[in-house]
Structure 1
Amino acid sequence: MDPVKLQQALDDVFDQALLHHGFTNYMRDYQLVIHATADPRSGITPATLRYLFRHCVQATCTTILPAGTWRTSLDDRLISYETGVDLDGYVWGVNWQELYPGARLITDSPTARTWAAALGIDFHEVRIQANAHDLTLVFSDLQIEELPPEGQGPDHRFPIQ
């Protein structure tokens, strides 16, 4: 995949809602499910997108929440929006994270070069930062598809409708 097109694809979902991330069921590829919206006045219809990072040989996920936030966010009531919304702590139950400060391609990645030499295909490394997780992925290709609209759609858990 062309690095310029890859960075543009990452820029396209800057500051959008990350609904889910993790390996696919067959555990070779890593996916991000993103709800992309724009100002309603723009006329752009919201979409749910799947970013599929193919042949993902490395996926690292770390928290970016400080220990103090974790300390106040251990209550299991925070994993449900309905029971956690009025509590102090990080409300895990909003079921999304903001893709901010966003994603960027790591140019000239030694890890990507090593995998490319070993497998004989191009590899890339990206760093994806959301408001709760910091992801680093090493993969060979990115496929993007629009998913069918979900029955529920965005609700009060999304700040912008």
Structure 2
Amino acid sequence: MDPVKLQQALDDIFDQALLHHGFVDYMRDYLLVIHATADPVTGTAPTTLRYLFRHCVQATCVTTVRADTWRESLDDRLITYETGVDLDGYVWGVKWQILYPGASLVADSPTAQSWTTAIGIDFHEVRIETNAHDLTLVFADLRIEEVPSRSQGPDHKFPIR
């Protein structure tokens, strides 16, 4: 995959809503489901996108939620929006994360180069930062497709008041 096109695909999801991430059921590829919106003035309708990172040999996920916020966010009522919205803490039940500061290609990644040498196809490393997780993926290819929206999107729910 061309690194310039890869970075453009990552730029396209900047500041959008990450609805889900994780390995798909056959556990080779890593999936991001993204709700993308645009300024209503543009007339562009919101869409749900599937970013499939194929041949993912490494996926690292670390929280970006501060420890003091975690401490206030252990209550199971926070995993459902309706029961957590009026509580102090991070409302996990909003069921989305903001893709900010965003995603970027890791230039000259030694990890990606090692896999390229070992397998014989090009690998890439990306870092995807959200308001709740910091992801690092090493993979060979990215496929993007529009999928039917499962909900109206996250526009009205926020994790912290």
Q: TM-score range by the shorter chain?
A: over 0.9
Q: Which residue of 2 aligns with 1:26?
A: 26
- Cα separation, 1, equivalents of 2:4 and 2:149: 29
- Cα separation, 1, equivalents of 2:67 and 2:107: 31
The 3-state SS of whatever aligns with 2:27 is coil
Q: Which residue of 2 aligns with 1:52?
A: 52
- Cα separation, 1, equivalents of 2:43 and 2:97: 24
- Cα separation, 1, equivalents of 2:122 and 2:153: 37
| Alignment-mate amino acid for residue 115 of structure 1 | W
| Alignment-mate amino acid for residue 140 of structure 1 | A
Q: Which residue of 2 aligns with 1:96?
A: 96
- Cα separation, 2, equivalents of 1:149 and 1:3: 29
- State the superposition RMSD in angstroms: 1.2
Shift of 1:91: 0.4
- Cα separation, 1, equivalents of 2:145 and 2:153: 19
- Cα separation, 1, equivalents of 2:14 and 2:132: 15
The 3-state SS of whatever aligns with 1:144 is strand
- Cα separation, 1, equivalents of 2:127 and 2:43: 31
- Cα separation, 2, equivalents of 1:77 and 1:133: 21
Give the 4+ runs in structure 1 shifted more than 4 A: none
Matches within 5 A, 1:8-157: 8-150=8-150, 152-154=151-153, 156-157=156-157
For each residue in 1:66-119, what CA deviation from the matched residue of structure 2 results, as whole angstroms up to 9, or x when unmatched? Answer: 110000000000000000001000000000000000000001000000000000
The 3-state SS of whatever aligns with 1:48 is strand
The 3-state SS of whatever aligns with 2:31 is strand
Give the gaps of 5 or more residues in structure 1.
none
Shift of 1:40: 1.1
The 3-state SS of whatever aligns with 1:21 is strand
Quote the sequence identity (%).
76
- Cα separation, 1, equivalents of 2:84 and 2:27: 32
- Cα separation, 2, equivalents of 1:76 and 1:149: 27
- Cα separation, 1, equivalents of 2:84 and 2:132: 17
The 3-state SS of whatever aligns with 1:19 is strand
- Cα separation, 2, equivalents of 1:29 and 1:105: 18
Shift of 1:4: 0.3
How many pairs were matched up? Answer: 158
- Cα separation, 1, equivalents of 2:77 and 2:127: 31
